[in-house]
Amino acid sequence: MLIREEFEKREKESLSRFATLSTETRGRKKDEKSCPVRTEYQKDRDKILHSVSFRLLKHKTQVFLSTAGERFRTRLTHTMEVAAAASYMARALKVNEDLVEAIALGHDLGHTPFGHAGEDILRDLTPFSFRHAKQSLRVVDKLENAGKGLNLTYEVRNGIAGHSKGEWSVYKVHGENIKGQGKTSTIEGEVVQFADWIAYINHDVDDAFNMGIIKKEDLPASTEKVLGLTFYQRLITMIKDVVENSLDKKHITMSSEVMEATDELRGFLYRKVYTGLHGSFREIRSREMLSLIYSHYLENYEKILKEMPFLKNEETHRGVCDFVASLTDVRAQELYSKLKAKNQK
């Protein structure tokens, strides 16, 4: 028996009746030869892990822009924290951990430089509605592998496209999932949705403390009582509650008490932290940089084609958006400095 077949056998024997088996995947856009060692979802996880876009996440801001970049979460460390939380829950719930890891590792591949500010700026600059989840899907379908894409399975692609919740409350996303109208079609995709909440809510509070934006006494008292005071207390409370309330169920959920506290803490971040960053010097600076880069390459699209020739037949705004979204913070700043200096001559 092949190693892959042994893994597939274990899935059938040990996973929940609601889990997504790798042998039952809806497949890929292009057929591929099976691997003797890895299941289809393990292959997808490795494709993402070894991609250029994944490595670039190391140099992209999560929320807080640090000059040296060493103190606060980056888009890569956020992704790793999501993957860790998602894996804990998947293992405990006996759903497909490999599928969960693949979705988690790929969910933010399309994120812009300068964090959420960069996403807002590109949304304003493009004639279409830019969303990082859609861009992440575009990365794995079109932009990676020199324009060939990664050819991932349907379930991983669906989870990546459906992970984003924007400012939607936990209640709203959970309600849509229960009604069968959610953005993701697998329970593993729902695990990543909740893991994304759990990771960013906790690490953004932690980073906001370190940034001096908030103090511990600023946190809603009700959330401290339910979730705990420290980073790890909140993290463990949320993960434990998801597992206890989702075991052998068709959808991922939380207890009403923990869900209410989680959503209250999420709302607190939007009101007191994210909104405060809007209009800040760093956000204004980011807008100035990306706007200049975008307009320059819109007028000089041939420069993009030297780096990304596979965008030759794309509409110009679409190709420029792909290029700008792929930039790291450092490269965006370097390009801006060169363009600024050139314009001043």
* Per-residue pLDDT reduced to its tens digit, 173-225: 778 888 777 788 999 999 999 999 999 999 999 988 888 889 988 999 999 99
Q: Residue range 5-18: average pLDDT?
A: 98
Locate tokens 């597992």: which residue? Answer: 243
pLDDT for res 64: 58
Half-sphere exposure of 265 (CA within 13 A, CB side): 32
Q: Note the Cα 278 to chain centre separation in Å.
A: 21
pLDDT for res 68: 42
Cβ–Cβ under 8 Å, residues 58 and 111: no
Cβ–Cβ under 8 Å, residues 319 and 326: no
Q: Specify the pTM.
A: 0.95
Amino acid at position 340, single letter: K
Q: Does domain 44-277 have CATH number 3.40.50.300?
A: no
pLDDT for res 268: 92
> First CA to last CA across the chain, in angstroms?
69
Q: List Cα–Cα distances, 204 to 60, 196, 198, 229, 318, in angstroms.
A: 15, 12, 10, 14, 31
Q: What is the pLDDT of residues 112-135, one digit of tens each?
A: 999 888 999 999 999 998 999 999
pLDDT for res 277: 63
Q: Residue range 8-19: average pLDDT?
A: 98
Q: What are the residue boundaries of the structural domains of the chain, listed by start?
A: 44-277
Residues with Cβ within 8 Å of residue 206, at least 6 apart in sequence: 231
